[in-house]
C-alpha cells in the first residue's frame, strides 16, 4: 500500500491507497486549535499518533510526501512560515522513516498534478479548485462535505492534495512492480 502526505502545520492530508488505485482512507489532520496544538512539538506528537494508527491498520510499502516550498513567492509565505513548514515536513518525514524504516520519496505538487493529468489552472484561477474538480470528475471514491455556505469543509483541499501525491507515487512505482 501507498501513503501520500500533504504536510502542513495547519492541516495535513493523508491518503492510504492500494496499488490498483483504490482509496483505503483519505483524511485530514487539523492542527489549527492553538489550545490543543500550541507548538510544533504538540503537532508532531499528534501526527505520530495518526501515523502509528495507519501503521497498525495498513501494510504501507511506499511513502510519498509533497515536497515543501523551497523559495519565496511575492505575496505568499514569509521566511518564518517557510522555515516552520520545512521543519514540520522534516519531523513528519522522520516519523515515517522511524515507523516504516524507509525514507519517504518527495514529489513536487506541480509534478504530481502533471503526472496525474490535472489540467493547468486558468490565469488568475485557483489550482486547489482545479484539483478538487479533477478528482470529483475522475475519482468516484473521492467526496467531501460542504460548509453551510457551500464551500468545501476545511481539510478538503489537503485531502485532495494527499490523494494526488499518492496517485503520482503509484505511477512512480508501476514499472517496478
- The pTM assigned to this predicted structure is 0.88
> Which of the four pLDDT bands, split at 50, 70 and 90, describes residue 177?
very low
| Residue-range domain boundaries for the chain | 2-176
User: How would you label 36-73 residue by residue, b for 16+ Cβ within 10 Å and e otherwise?
Assistant: ebeeeeebbebbbebbeebeeebebebbbbbbbbeeee
Per CATH, is 2-176 categorized as 3.40.50.720? no
User: How do residues 83-133 score in pLDDT, each as one tens digit?
Assistant: 888 889 999 999 999 999 999 999 999 999 999 999 888 887 788 999 999
The pLDDT score that the predictor gives to residue 33 is 86
Q: Is the pLDDT of residue 172 over 80?
A: yes
SS3 content of the chain, % helix, strand, coil (to 5): 45, 15, 35
Amino acid at each position: 500500500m501507498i501513503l501520500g502526505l500533504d504536510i502542513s502545520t495547519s492541516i495535513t492530508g493523508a491518503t492510504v491507497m492500494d496499488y490498483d488505485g483504490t482509496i483505503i482512507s483519505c483524511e485530514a489532520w487539523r492542527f489549527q486549535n492553538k489550545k490543543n496544538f500550541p507548538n510544533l512539538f504538540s503537532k508532531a506528537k499528534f501526527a505520530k499518533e495518526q501515523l502509528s494508527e495507519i501503521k497498525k491498520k495498513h501494510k504501507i510499502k511506499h511513502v510519498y510526501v509533497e515536497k515543501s516550498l523551497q523559495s519565496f513567492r511575492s505575496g505568499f509565505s514569509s521566511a518564518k512560515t517557510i522555515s516552520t513548514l520545512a521543519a514540520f515536513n522534516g519531523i513528519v518525514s522522520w516519523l515515517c522513516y522511524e515507523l516504516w524504516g524507509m525514507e519517504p520519496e518527495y514529489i513536487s505538487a506541480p509534478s504530481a498534478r502533471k503526472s496525474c493529468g490535472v489540467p493547468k489552472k486558468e490565469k488568475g484561477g485557483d489550482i486547489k479548485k482545479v484539483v478538487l474538480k479533477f478528482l470529483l470528475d475522475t475519482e468516484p471514491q473521492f467526496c467531501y462535505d460542504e460548509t453551510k455556505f457551500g464551500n468545501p469543509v476545511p481539510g478538503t483541499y489537503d485531502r485532495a492534495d494527499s490523494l494526488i501525491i499518492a496517485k503520482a507515487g503509484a505511477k512512480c512505482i508501476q514499472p517496478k512492480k
